[in-house]
Structure 1
């Protein structure tokens, strides 16, 4: 039994009387005795308020028995100690159910993770405020790893063994991209997040957006086609695959083998921005860079224009400082040269050379004097020797030189015959005589 404050009475099937005609919507709440008792009694003129319908559903669901249900955890939130939530997916059908629990259930479920196969005990319940059906659980037990998670893990090991996730295959992102290819759902919030944040950081960038399904059966093939289309475009410098957060099953398309292979084969640098930071898909391993969110991708693919301006300003400051330091150093060098005596008194530059010339001249004069003196002594000695050996000296001592008519000096009397004309050279002058006799030894 629940109390409805609007209608001021306890709401139960037996307490509602039969209807008594319609009422205007602006007349306020009608008394309970004026509302139809059964659903079949309602009319367009005398309907049930939403609160009555929600209350009826709640009372009906409360009579349902508790049960054990089996499925795979695709989303789990046990952050609060007082209440927790699980999205449980059928093991074979694409059907999910919301499960909630309170303090005791949270304590039991805190060690479970996304992808676990479990059985949960509880009862269905209607949250009256939103007329929303949920399964209120009181027990949870593990029955093995989830099929989807196991399949994805096997695929991950297979692709890793082929080298699709190797770091050496990653491509560096361009520092200043001119055109960004964006793959996202049409009218998605992720598209606005990426474009807005990129334009705030680097307004010069252009975008080429390819819309595709980001969940469901069409997701893998459309994502593969979008990647190939942007990779073939020579204007695209980097590709972003963006999607907002979602449950494990919502993101399953990004773990498709075709998507992963297309990502690894992409020659253009590719960034995965799928889900939130805690979400993971195989495309994150194959991409050249993983961003935690679409907004984070925008921050990673382009630089911040303000940071770049600051870098330029710092670089210019460094250049100015180094140029000024170089100029100051050169000025000091010039001032050092200008203060040298060779520039303040240029004649001092000639003094060493002048001293060298003076000393050289003195050495040359001394040397020449010695040469002349030595030559004079030699000449005097030679002159004395010549004088001593000169025939004139002999003549001066009273001797004479006798020459025949042919000019030959006679040194043997046997070569003279009487009557020969002889020339006698004396100390002073010559005498011509005729030989009258010759007396050889």
Structure 2
């Protein structure tokens, strides 16, 4: 490449080299006579500065317009996993203040190389919105759709096992998230195994890899719970976890699944479909297993309560037995009969009194009846000097006209009877 004539001065360890000693063309450089970094950076800058300005279309995935004098945007291609850094100055900042992450825009500017770091950037001077079909709006529409289907309903959530024996972990190979999860889980609950499935966690391969990993671990009977883990990143980096297929696979997973994607402020649709959302991979490790120290403390507390309750129960039973042993019914068993004896004696006395009263009342009644009968008996009349006259047929004669001379009469006196015949009748 020929970057043209330069006016730079450079130096070696022995001092600056004159410019006329430097190669003029890239093809003329050698290991013994190279270009200094400053020359290369300047040549890049001069070459890029001749490129024309252009309009660039894409999706805003990061935007920083907090300073009035300069601002920065990361612009993502609408179809490919490719981004470009955009910077602008005061006029551009005033235009871009009303734009947000996820907006689809076109930006006008020209490329530039920052010589200090030989860094290529796109220096913008204009920005315009192009429709509402941005990623955030698409994700929001997908969220509403899946919510309407009930994929995020709380009643569909599967509770996590309290003491999992095997944890399935989905993460990127050699990712920090893998170490965070495994290390923190082992610190809290060493008696657990892991089955790790590595997958792409950003880019175009992310959705298909994550879906395959979820299905693989869900079909494994040894896996008690699944963690999908990824460290923090930009909206662009995490977009794969809002893929419809990933969300549906998560909601359909029969094994309890934890979403640990990004940091606490990062949200993706997999968080809504998962049975539990953890703010970070480390937080997932704390939620998936109990703390062994806390469990030992619970066991010790429970054991102490058991011992205390058993001791209290034994003391209570001992006191109860001592109370029984000291009762008069055991020390002097005869005392148990005393109430019954008193009852029988009282009953006997009441019976005697009752019978005596009955007999006395009956005797008085008999005496009264005897007196009444005596007063009414014919003998009582005879005892007063009267006599009873009976005819031959035994009937009492109470009318003289019923007799005839010669009739036989029997006269009953107080003592004895007199038999006579009628000789004369007076009326």
Q: What's the TM-score once normalised by structure 1's chain length?
A: 0.67
* C-alpha separation in 2, matches of 1:341 and 1:333: 15
Report deviation, 1:44: 0.7
Matches of 1:113 and 1:375, distance apart in 2: 122
Change beyond 3 A, Cα 1:225–1:349: same
Equivalent pair of 2:75/2:84 in contact (CA under 8 Å)? yes
Of 170, 174, 177, which residue of structure 2 is paired with 1:183? 170
Indicate the larger mover: 268-277 or 139-148: 139-148
* 1:207 pairs with 2:194: yes
* 1:36 corresponding residue in structure 2: 22
Distance, in Å, in 2 between the alignment partners of 1:242 and 1:95 is 23
Alignment partner, residue 6 of structure 2:
13
CA gap of 1:215–1:373, structure 2 versus 1, over 3 A, is closer
Q: Does the alignment pair 1:259 with 2:246?
A: yes
Task: Report how far residue 106 of structure 1 moved.
Answer: 6.7
Does the Cα contact within 8 Å between 1:181 and 1:236 map onto a contact in 2?
yes
Q: Which residue of the partner structure matches residue 282 of structure 1? A: 269
Cα shift at 1:216: 2.7
Structure 2 CA distance, aligned partners of 1:81 and 1:313?
62
Q: 1:110 Cα shift?
A: 5.9
Q: Which stretch of the first structure deviates more once superposed, 48-57 or 271-280?
A: 48-57
Cα distance in 2 for partners of 1:62, 1:375 equals 149
The two structures have a TM-score, normalised by structure 2, of: 0.69
Cα distance in 1 for partners of 2:82, 2:361 equals 135
- Once the two structures are TM-superposed, the CA of residue 188 in structure 1 deviates from its matched residue by 1.9
Aligned residue number for residue 228 of structure 1:
215
Task: Give the drift of 1:306.
Answer: 1.6
Q: Which moved more, 1:135-144 or 1:260-269?
A: 135-144
After TM superposition, give the deviation of residue 54 of structure 1 in Å.
3.4
Aligned: 1:193 with 2:180: yes
Contact 2:58–2:105 (Cα < 8 Å) also in 1: yes
Report how far residue 85 of structure 1 moved. 4.0
Shift of residue 88, structure 1, vs aligned partner: 0.9
Name the SS for the 1:13 alignment partner.
coil
Deviation at 1:160, TM superposition (A): 2.4
Q: CA deviation at 1:195?
A: 1.4
5 Å-filtered alignment, 1:32-431, equals 32-33=17-18, 36=22, 38-40=24-26, 41-58=28-45, 69-77=56-64, 85-100=72-87, 112-120=99-107, 124-128=111-115, 130-135=117-122, 142-145=129-132, 147-337=134-324, 340-342=327-329, 346-360=333-347, 362=349
Superposed displacement of residue 268, structure 1? 1.3
How far off its partner does 1:261 sit? 1.9
The Cα of 1:144 is off from its aligned counterpart by 4.2
2:191 alignment partner, SS class: coil
The alpha carbon displacement at 1:141 in A equals 5.3
CA distance in 1, matches of 2:348, 2:291: 80
Residue 264 of structure 1: how far off its partner (Å): 1.7
Query: Shift in Å at residue 172 of structure 1?
Result: 1.5
Structure 1 range deviating more: 359-368 or 215-224: 359-368
Assess if the C-alpha contact under 8 Å between 2:8 and 2:39 holds in 1: no
User: Residues 16 and 37 of structure 1 are in contact (CA less than 8 Å); yes or no, is this contact kept in structure 2?
Assistant: no
Whether the aligned pair in 1 keeps the contact of 2:228 and 2:261 (CA below 8 Å) is yes
Whole-Å Cα distance in 2 between the matches of residues 95 and 141 of structure 1? 20
Distance between the aligned counterparts of 1:331 and 1:103, measured in 2? 90
CA contact (8 A) 2:186 2:192 kept: yes
Q: Is there any run of 5+ residues in structure 1 with no aligned partner, and where?
A: 1-11, 378-440
| SS at structure 2 position matched to 1:31 | strand
Distance in 2, Cα, partners of 1:157 & 1:254: 16
Q: Is contact 1:115-1:145 (8 Å) kept?
A: no
Q: CA deviation at 1:352?
A: 2.0
In structure 1, how many angstroms separate the alpha carbons of the residues matched to 2:39 and 2:293? Answer: 59
